[in-house]
Amino acid sequence: MSTKVLVVDDEPQILRVLRPALTASGYEITGAGTGAEALVVLASFAPDLIILDLGLPDMDGKEALRRIRVLTGTPVIVLSARDREAEKIMALDMGADDYVEKPFSMGELLARMRAALRHASDVSEPQCIKVDGLTIDVVKRKVEKHGILLKLTPKELDLLICLARHAGKPLSHREILKAVWGPAHEGDSQYLRVFVGQLRAKIEDDPSEPKLLLTDPGFGYRFVEAD
């Protein structure tokens, strides 16, 4: 089975250059020209690696990276003409696995892709999380409770996936808000409580006594660890 690569770049010539070279190296390629399109393709294509440009037309590439990291741990190589060191550090701190500047050599890019994929194979994450009758399909972004498909809003789903990917680990209010809503909302704890309440009403057997999405008083929330 081919390794699938999602290239997120609004410059058609980049995809025209990358597609034949990566295909010849055994990769299956699909492209997205905007951050919004990338998030849609991410769910349907389920790439093994993402090449992401920082200069997207609809959102800053770092915002796209933040949203990608909420949904998946798929390795991301940032590809950009920006040469400022601060940009590189920020992208890496936000979850990018590597950074390649334009113009780049195909040999270097392929080597960095292989390294990112090797690392990802050593740190695999579950694509489907099951606990107490709840099934979360991270790739297809579907949630079922006792076999019944639940209707979650996109933000409720982002919140659930963020918590479930760190099952058993307490996440602070600030960490959750930054991951799901962005840095501008880091202090909106009341906002988060509203969404947690909405989510519990849909996933818990008894929302008044939650067993899946637990509160760590004075700190944050924790999704229960599977047995």
Query: Domains in the chain, start-ordered, CATH in brackets?
Result: 3-122 (3.40.50.2300), 128-223 (1.10.10.10)
More confident residue, 111 or 89: 111
- Averaged pLDDT score across all residues of the chain: 87
The answer to whether 199 and 152 are in contact (CB under 8 A) is: yes
More confident residue, 126 or 112: 112
Six-digit token string for 40: 């849609």
pLDDT higher than threshold 90 for residue 195 = yes
What Rg value do the Cα atoms of the chain yield, rounded?
Answer: 19
8-state DSSP, 183: G
Identity at 95, one-letter amino acid code:
G
Confidence at 125, pLDDT banded by 50, 70, 90: low
Nearest to residue 127, comparing CAs of 147, 149, 105, 142? 142
Confidence at 128, pLDDT banded by 50, 70, 90: confident
CA-to-CA distance for 205 and 32, rounded, in angstroms?
Answer: 39
Residue 205, φ and ψ in degrees, nearest 5:
-65, -40
pLDDT at 227: 58
Quick one: CA dihedral 138, 141, 147, 150, positive or negative?
positive
pLDDT higher than threshold 60 for residue 111 = yes
Six-digit token string for 97: 């696995």
